[in-house]
A and B are shown apart, each in its own frame.
Chain A
Amino acid sequence: MRAILFLVRKEFLQIFRDKLIGKAIFAVPVVQMLILVPAVTFEIKSSEICVIDIDKTSESRGLLGQLEGSTFFKIPYMASSEKEANDLLHEDKCDLILQIPSGFGKDLGLGRPARVMVSVNAINAMTAQLSWAYLNGVLRDYNRNIVTDKVGLIPVSQIQITNRYWYNETLNYNYFMLPGILGILVVAIAFLLAGLNLVKEKEMGTIEQINVTPVRKYQFILAKMIPFLIIGLVDLAIGLAIGKVTFHIPFEGSLLLMFLGAAIFMVAALGLALFISSFSGTQQQFMFVAFFFLIIFILMSGIFTPIESMPAWAQKIDLANPVVYLMRINRMVMLKGSTFSDLSREIYSLVGIAVVFTVFAVIRYRKTA
């Protein structure tokens, strides 16, 4: 036990001897929270339409008025020809083109169906679908107004729908992303630092000096894990404090449970990092293998997109992805106040992954070169 304590002390000294890294460890969570959380959003706030109004009647102006009345659409450009509008779309000056052909007002006046043409910049498929859906909604409203004027009141639909969003009534996107970003932060710091640290000893040859001491394998691995576990948890606390102060994110559940989840997760991540580092001779090598895993873990973790939308094979792979469980625990504890029994499956899975990775790391570490 004493041996481990001394080794841990040595690790801390070594980590903080590098002034830049020492500062980065604590500055990174602050910067990440403040800069990334508000930026990472799929919420579309507005869409810019370029209108070609060839018709220029009171009906077409009425439609434009309806568009301008919606908070979502802005009409910064009125084009007179299709080419002019297409150029604007080409240059990314507008997201949509709405073309009202001549005869639009006349057709409506006569009660005949009228046509409009819409072109959407669809490079970003999701944004395109959403803005088209919104525009369609505006058209439908306009339609309904005309029908009401002409035919009279349409009978109200029979089933009324009310909906509520629990845990996040206003659907604030920051509440969703903050626990996720916190997770990434913990992964990145713990995973990279720990692995690099071990490989550095190899690359510099200092590991030989430890190998010739009576320090046991498990003691060495534990002493490598503990400092980064502590650093990761401190970082998590800093990140949480910033989230609380800056974004007023609610914290419904138990702080203890969240830290427990993070701690188990970090053992898993550190175990994997040390395991990978046992295969790498240089920091560059480790960097690349670690980055490879990190990218896959994070992209597949459900931090940006729901796991249910992934294909079945990907969901199977995800069973072994520790970041998935961390994301779920962070979000559910913070926003919903889920308890240990709600999260037992996640926590036990994490424990399993942590044990496997750590055992691998201890087995793979050889005292003889």
Chain B
Amino acid sequence: MKRFLGFVRKEFLHIFRDFRTLIILFGLPAVMIVIFGYVVSTDLKNADIAFLDLSKDDITIDLSDRICSSGFFSRTDHLSRYDDIDRILKKGKAKAVVIFGEHFGRNLISRGEANVSIIADGSEPNTATLVVNYITAIISDFNRECAGEIITEAPVITAEVRMFYNPALQSQYMFVPGVITMIMILICALMTSITLTREKEFGTMEVLLVSPLKPAQIILGKVTPYFFLSFINVNLIIFLSWLIFKLPVKGSFFLLLAESMLYILLSLSLGILISSISKTMQQAIFASLLGLMLPTVLLSGFIFPIENMPEIYNWISAILPPRYFIVIIKNIMIKGTGFGFVSKETLILTGMTFLCLAAAIRSFKIRLQ
């Protein structure tokens, strides 16, 4: 035991010696929380709109002013010819062009109808949809005002809507669980696999193996510091998201920590597994980044909901641990549910942990070639 503690101490020293990595380890979650919280947003703001106004009468000027003063759009350019539309969209200077045909106002008054065309840049589908919807709403409002007294009939059905769990519709509710998951993969799987393969690549593993320490003790000693580091990091992320976004932990804090520990264990065993199949650090880095990090970010439902993906991804993501962990954190943190609601996910994660540990122990070689 004393030997083991000495070994753990050595590993801690290794980590603390590298001050720069340590700073990033704790700085990265903070930066990610700020970026996700303030920078990455899907709302429509200041989208550039150009106008092709062939009639330039009171009504078209009024309409384009209404569109620009709505706060969603800013006017970039007045075009004069149809050919300009392609030119301005190709430069990416406008997200959409609003076209008023000739004699717009006169047609509206004399014939009672006139036509507006919106040409949106479909190369950005989300923005294009939002732009068209918002402009349509603004013009519909105008229509309704003109129709004025004719339809005073109040809507017959009124709907009362409640936004559950997230009444202010903050986007942070979605990504904080994701950030926790990502950071843990980063520290546990990536760092562990690198330190273990490093010993192999430098040949120092041989020194450790001939020491009186048992192989299991070596591995345990290697991963213990990372266990603590990631545990501190989880707490840091939860604290920061409470501090900055007032994100509460609705459920039991202890349950959340216990589940995090389970997930840390799983990530650590994944890291050990990766280290035992890779010979060099570069291989370990690539395996962890491409095999663990990318799927965690893109396929676990943290940014892109799994329900939106084609059916087969439901099956692919079923073998990804982060998918279950994200459900667990969301349930405990945001919905405030108890263990009963996450027991299935917990069971799956526990099973995965044992499986990975067993595989890691089996493939850990005591002798080097």
Which of A's residues lie within 8 Å of B, judged by CB? 18, 20-21, 24, 28, 32, 35-36, 38-46, 63, 89-92, 108, 111, 113-129, 132, 135-136, 139-140, 142-143, 146-147, 151, 154-169, 171-173, 175-176, 188, 192, 196, 200, 279-280, 282-285, 287-289, 291-292, 295-296, 299-300, 304-306, 308-311, 314, 328, 331-332, 335-339, 342
The answer on a CB contact under 8 Å between A120 and B162 is yes
Q: Is B41 an interface residue (CB 8 A)?
A: yes
Pairwise interchain contact A124-B305, C-beta atoms closer than 8 A: yes
Q: Is the CB of B90 within 8 A of A41?
A: no
Which B residues are in CB contact (< 8 Å) with A169? Answer: 122
Contact between chains at B165 and A292 (CB < 8 Å): no
Q: B142-150, B205-213, B231-239: which one contacts chain A?
A: B142-150
Is A146's CB under 8 angstroms from B117's CB?
Answer: no
Asked whether, in the complex, the Cβ of B158 is within 8 Å of the Cβ of A115, the reply is yes
**In chain A, what residue has the closest Cβ to B187?**
A288
The residues of B that contact A280 with a CB separation of less than 8 Å are 20
Report whether A129 and B116 are in contact in the complex, using a CB–CB cutoff of 8 Å: no
B28 close to A292 (CB less than 8 A): yes
Per-residue CB proximity of B76-95 to A under 8 Å, as 1/0? 00000000001001111001
Residue ID in chain B nearest A170 by CB atoms: B122
Beyond A128-B163, A339-B90, whether A159 also contacts B299 by CB under 8 A is no
Q: Which residue from chain A places its CB closest to the CB of B301 in the assembled complex?
A: A124
Contacts of A124 in B (CB 8 A): 173-174, 305
Is the interface on chain B under 10, 10 to 19, 20 to 34, or 35 or more residues?
35 or more
Across the interface, B92 reaches (CB within 8 A) one of A160, A305, A338, namely: A338
Given contacts A192-B289, A284-B198, A166 and B28 within 8 Å (CB-CB): no
A171 CB, nearest partner CB in chain B, Å: 4
Residues from 16 to 71 in B contacting A, C-beta threshold 8 Å:
18, 20-21, 24-25, 27-28, 31-32, 35-36, 38-48
Which residues of chain B from 103 to 121 have a CB within 8 Å of any chain A CB? 108, 112-121
B315-333 residues with Cβ-Cβ distance < 8 A to A are 316, 327, 330
Q: Whole-angstrom distance between the alpha carbons of A295 and B182 in the complex?
A: 11
Complex CA–CA separation, A43 to B112 (angstroms): 37
- Distance A136 CA – B137 CA, assembled complex (angstroms): 14
B294 at interface by CB-CB < 8 Å: yes
A58 to B125, CA, bound (A): 39
Q: Please, how many angstroms separate the alpha-carbon atoms of A114 and B160 in the complex? A: 11
Chain B minimum-CB-distance residue to A284: B194
Q: Is the CB of B90 within 8 A of A163?
A: no
- Max chain A C-beta neighbours (<10 A), residue from B42, B157, B163: B157
Q: Contacts A122-B166, A124-B174, A124-B305 hold; do A166 and B120 have CB atoms under 8 A apart?
A: yes
Bound-complex Cα distance A289 to B92 (A): 33
B368 within 8 A of A: no
**CA gap between A323 and B61 in the complex, in Å:** 38
Chain B residues whose CB sits within 8 angstroms of the CB of A292 once the complex forms? 24, 27-28, 31
Cβ of B369: which chain A residues have Cβ within 8 Å of it? none
B97: shortest Cβ distance to chain A, in Å? Answer: 9
- Within 8 Å by CB of B39, from A129, A158, A200, A300, lies A300
Are A126 and B31 in touch, CB under 8 angstroms?
no
Would A159 and B164 be within 8 Å (CB), given that A40-B304, A283-B194 are in contact? Answer: no
Name the residue in A91, A123, A338 with the highest tally of chain B Cβ atoms < 10 Å from its Cβ.
A123
Given contacts A159-B143, A310-B41, contact A45 B308 (CB under 8 A): yes
Instruction: Output the least CB separation between B264 and chain A (Å).
Output: 18
CB distance from A85 to the nearest CB of B (A): 11
Task: Contact check, A192 vs B285: say whether CB atoms are below 8 A apart.
Answer: yes
Which residue in B42, B163, B290 is a CB contact (below 8 Å) of A28?
B290
Q: Which among B126-134, B220-228, B348-356 touches the partner chain?
A: B126-134
The 9 nearest A-B residue pairs measured at CB: A165-B122, A168-B122, A122-B163, A335-B123, A122-B166, A125-B169, A157-B143, A163-B118, A171-B125
Cα A342 to Cα B166 in complex, Å, equals 43
Q: Given the interface contacts A123-B334, A128-B163, does A157 sit within 8 Å of B298 by beta carbon?
A: no
Known contacts A147-B153, A292-B24, A342-B90; is-contact A171 B122 (Cβ 8 Å):
yes
Asked if A164 and B117 sit within 8 Å, CB to CB, the answer is yes
Chain A residues with CB under 8 Å of B298's CB are: 36, 39-40
Whether A139 and B159, one on each chain, are in contact in the complex, defined by CB atoms closer than 8 angstroms, is: yes
Contacts of A132 in B (CB 8 A): 161, 163
A-binding segment of B2-10, B254-262, B274-282: B274-282
Chain A residues with Cβ under 8 A from B158's Cβ? 113-116
Q: How far is the CA of A286 from the CA of B178 in the complex (A)?
A: 24
Given known contacts A39-B309, A332-B90, A159 and B142 CB-to-CB distance under 8 angstroms: yes
Given A45-B308, A127-B305, A157-B147: A176 touches B125 (CB 8 Å cut-off): yes
B337 within 8 A of A: yes
Q: CB-CB < 8 A to A119: which residues of B?
A: 161-164
Please measure, in the bound complex, the distance between the C-alpha atom of A169 and the C-alpha atom of B129, giving whole angstroms.
Answer: 11
In whole Å, how far is A23's beta carbon from the nearest beta carbon of chain B?
A: 10
Q: How far is the CB of A203 from chain B (nearest CB, A)?
A: 8
B184 at the interface (CB under 8 A from A): no
Inter-chain contacts of A157 with B (CB < 8 A): 140, 143-144, 147
Which one, A92, A160, A200, contacts B116 given CB within 8 A? A160
Q: Which residue of A lies closest to B169 (CB)?
A: A125
Residue of A nearest to B277 (CB): A20
Contact: A342 with B140, CB < 8 Å?
no
B286 within 8 A of A: yes
- What residue in chain B is nearest A146 (Cβ atoms)? B156
Given A128-B166, A288-B24, the answer on whether A332 and B123 have CB atoms closer than 8 Å is yes
If the complex has contacts A127-B305, A289-B20, A300-B35, are A176 and B120 also in contact, measured as CB distance less than 8 A? no
Task: Flag whether B283 is at the interface (Cβ < 8 A).
Answer: yes
